Structure 1
Amino acid sequence: MSSDYYEILGVSRDAGPDEIKKAYRRKAREMHPDVSDDPDAAAKFKDVNNAYEVLSDPQKRDMYDRGGDPYGNGGMGGNGGFGGFGGGATGGFDFTNLVDAMFGQQSSRGPRPRTRRGQDALVRMGLELAEAAFGVTKPISVDTAVVCPRCNGSGSEDGSKPVTCNTCRGAGEVTHIQRSFIGDIRTTQACPTCNGYGSVLPNPCVECSGDGRVRSTRTITVKVPAGVSTGNRIHLANHGEVGPGGGPAGDLYVELNVAPHEVFKRDGDNLEMVVKLPMTAAALGTELDIPTLEADLPDADAESKTVTLDVPAGTQSGTRIAIDGAGVPKLRSGGRGQLGVTLLVQTPTRLDDRQRELLRQLAEVREETRPEGTVQKHGRGVFGRLRDAFANQ
C-alpha cells in the first residue's frame, strides 16, 4: 500500500479534520482484519492507522507536509510488526476510534455540561365517568426532581464556582492503555473523579450532594377536557423532572384511567344502560324517568339529571331506545353521543290467587292457554342486545 498518508486515506492535501476523520472511519471499516477478507488487511489497516495518527494531529501533519515523518520510518511505524499500534499514548491505537469506525458512531469528546434538561415524567390519574365526560379540574401529587432549595441549583454549599479536575485536567475523560498481542490499546472513559464534568465542586451542597436538585412531592392542578377516555394523555410542558445542575425541567404527561360505572357502560361517545320494566308496562306502554350521567354531578340542574323515556305499547324484551344528545360530549368537537336504553321485560314469578286468575282469563281471551312456540332464526339484533343486557346486570 502507498506510504503517502493522503493517498492511503483517499483525501486531498487540503482536506479538513472532519473529512480526514470520515475517511479514516471508512477505511478502518474496510481494512480491519476482523472484517476484511484481504490477506494483507493487517498491514493495510496499520497504514490507515498511521496515516490517521499523523494527519489528525496538526503538529505531526505540519511536519509531514514539510517532508518529515513523525515516525521516522516512512509512515510505516517504528515498533515493528503492527507498528502503528505501539508507542505508548502518542503512537498507540485508540480503541474508541476503532469502535466508532466499526459501528459508524462518534463517541462524545470533552466534558459534559453540569446543567442539562431534565427528563420527561409520566403519572396516572384516575377519573370517574362523569369527570371524564364533562371535564374536571383536580389536583394530582407528583414525585419528581425539583431545584435544590438550599443551593438553588448551583450544587455548591457556599456558592463557589467549580474548579478544574486534577485527574483529567478538565477533559472530562481519561485514557487507559492495555497491552495486547497487537500492541497497546487505548480506551477512553469518563473521568471517575469528576464523573465526566471536567471540573469538581470544592464544597458540594449537603442537601443535593452537588446535583443541584432533590426529590420532592408536589401538587399540580390538572385541567381535564370533556370527552376524554382511558389512555388519553395530557401534556404539561416544563412540569417534569428538573435537570442536573438546576437545568430546565422536562415535560409531564398525565395518563388518564376512567373507572367503570355501576349504571352506564361507555361505547365511544355513546352511553348504554339497561332498564327493567314489568310485563304489563311493556304490553300497555308507559313513560319512564331515566337517570342521566348528569346525576353524578353535584352542581348539575335538577332537570338535567333525568330524561323521560317513552316506552311504546307492545315493547319486547331487548328493545333498545336511543336518546340523542344524552351521551358523552365529543372530544375536540361539538355535540354529544346517544344514551342507549335497552329494556328487559320482567315476567312475574310470585302471583297471588287473584293475579293468577286474571292472567288465566287473559290467556283464554287471547287463546294462549296452550300456545305453540315460534322457532326464531338466529339473528344478531335482539339476541345480541339481550346477551349484552344480561351481561351488564
Structure 2
Amino acid sequence: MAAIVDTRLYDILGVSPNASDSDLRKAFRRLAKECHPDKNPNATAAEKFKELNFAYEVLSNPEKREIYNRLGEKGLREGGGSSNMEDIFSHIFGGSSLFGGFLSGGMHSRGGSSSRRRRGEDMVHPLKVSLEDLYNGKVTKLQLSKNVICSGCKGIGGKAGSVQPCATCKGRGYRIVVQQVVPGMVQQMKSVCHICRGEGEIINERDRCKQCEGKKVVKEVKILEVHVDKGMQQGQKITFRGEGDQAPDMEPGDIILVLQEKEHEMFRRNGNDLHMTKRVGLCEALCGVCFALNHLDGRQILVTSPAGKVIYPGCTQGVCGEGMPTYRNPFEKGDLYIKFDIEFPENNWIDAERIQELEQLLPARPDIEHPVGEYEDVDLHDLDTTKGGGAGARREAYDDGSDDEGGHQHGQGVQCTQQ
C-alpha cells in the first residue's frame, strides 16, 4: 500500500486506512442514514453529508484512493486543476473525461483568449453511452491522437538562429494587395504570403528540424482514463482541460465530450425515473400481476400486485426506489413506472357452456332497455377499415336475402375493430 500522507477522509468515515471496500460501504451507509439532510434539515448536517459523499467516492475508487494515499487532498486538487473544495468535488464526480482516437473528426468551437497567450481551439464531440453505463458507472481507457510541441527543436522548427522573419510579409504571414474595382476605385485585400505560406517565418531547408520537418509539432498518441459516474445524464459534459492540440506560444484548448444516451430496448429515462411498458394477460389484470424483471445492474426483481387489484388497460403503477441513481449521491434513486397493456384472449377461447359460468364470476351486466315497437336487430362483424363506405357498403350490411319468423330483418352489422 502507498504511504498515507493524509487521513482526513478516512476519519470522516471512521475507518482505518487499511479498510476494505466492504468496510467502507458499511460505514458510509450507517453514517449516511444518521446525517442525511432529510432527517437533519440544517446547514451543518448538509455540509457533513456532502463531505461524507466526497470521502466515500474518493476512497471507493481504486485509482482516486491511490492518488489520495500518496498525495492527499492537495494531490487531488492539483490533478484536477482545482483550487477549493467545491472544485475538488466537481473534479471527482463530474470532471472526469473521455477520449478516443475517433475525436479527430469531431466538431470544433473556438476557445476564448487569455490575457497572456492565445488559446487553442476546444474540441467538442458526442460520446454514446448505454443506459447501463449511466446506471452502474463506467471506467475505461481510450486513445487520443493530438499535436504536441516537438521535443527535438522545442517548437522552433529548426536549429537555433535558423528561423528568420519573412522579409516579404514582415513576419505577418500575409500581404496587403491593392486591387482596382472600377476605374478610379481600389480596395485593399489580405493575401497569404506565397514566400512563407502564411507562417511569417523562413527556415532554410537544410536547417529544418528532422523530427518535425519544420512544423514545430508532432503527433502523439496518449491513453487517457475515462470516468462516467453513476447518474450522469444526456447532454452532460465531460472535460479534459488543456488536452487539446499544442502549438508554440499558444495555450492548449480542452477536449469536451457530450454524453448521448443510447436508446434502450426496455427502459426510457426521465430525469432520475425509469419508465417501461409491460404487456399482461386478462387473467393477470383481473387476478393480480406477478412477473420477473432484469434490472440495469443485473439484479432480478419480482414485481407483484395484490390479488384482486384490477390492472386497467393503459394504467401506470410504480415501484419506489428502482429508478436511476442520483448524480453525486448514488444511494438515492428515482422510481420505476410501469405502464400496463392488457392482452385480451382470441375469439371463441372458451366453450359456450362455460361462458355462463364465467359470467357468474364477473360483475353483472347492465340492464338493457329494449326499443318500443318495431326495431331492427343487427350483429357485429369485422370490416375492412381501409375501404370507403357508400351505398355498396350500406347495401352489404343488410343484404342477406332472408327474414326471420318474427318479421325482424337480420343482416350484417358493424364491428368495432380492436386497436
Q: TM-score, normalised by structure 2?
A: 0.49
Do residues 306 (structure 1) and 301 (structure 2) align?
yes
Aligned-partner SS, 2:305? strand
Corresponding residue number in structure 2 for 1:326: 322
Corresponding residue number in structure 1 for 2:31: none
Out of 152, 155, 158, which is 1:153 matched to? Answer: 155
How much has 1:221 moved relative to structure 2?
Answer: 2.5
Corresponding residue number in structure 1 for 2:33: none
Out of 250, 260, 264, which is 2:263 matched to? Answer: 260
Out of 286, 292, 295, which is 1:292 matched to? Answer: 295
Corresponding residue number in structure 1 for 2:122: 120
Out of 329, 340, 343, which is 1:343 matched to? Answer: 340
CA contact 1:147–1:246 (8 Å) conserved in 2:
no
Corresponding residue number in structure 1 for 2:286: 283
Any residues of structure 2 matched to 1:194-273 within 5 Å, and which?
194=196, 198-202=200-204, 203-205=207-209, 208-215=212-219, 218-243=222-247, 245=248, 247-273=250-276
Q: Which amino acid aligns with 1:225?
A: D
> Cα deviation per residue 1:221-242 (whole Å; 9 max; x = unaligned)?
2212222233222111011122
> How many residues were matched structurally?
248
* Structure exhibiting the larger radius of gyration computed from Cα positions: 1
Q: Distance in 2 between matches of 1:168 and 1:204?
A: 21
Aligned-partner SS, 2:133? helix
Aligned-partner SS, 2:324? strand
Any residues of structure 2 matched to 1:13-162 within 5 Å, and which?
117-148=119-150, 151=153, 153-156=155-158, 158=159, 161-162=162-163
Q: Which amino acid aligns with 2:344?
A: T
Aligned-partner SS, 1:289? strand
Tell which deviates more after alignment, 330-339 or 231-240.
330-339
> Cα deviation per residue 1:264-304 (whole Å; 9 max; x = unaligned)?
11122211111222222222224333332222xxxxxxxx4
Q: Distance in 1 between matches of 2:168 and 2:364?
A: 102
Q: TM-score, normalised by structure 1?
A: 0.52
Q: Which amino acid aligns with 1:290?
A: L
Corresponding residue number in structure 2 for 1:315: 311
CA contact 1:154–1:246 (8 Å) conserved in 2:
no
Q: Which amino acid aligns with 2:258?
A: E
Structure 2: segments with no counterpart, 5+ residues: 1-116, 369-418
CA contact 2:135–2:297 (8 Å) conserved in 1:
no
Q: Distance in 2 between matches of 1:154 and 1:348?
A: 80
Q: Distance in 2 between matches of 1:283 and 1:185?
A: 85
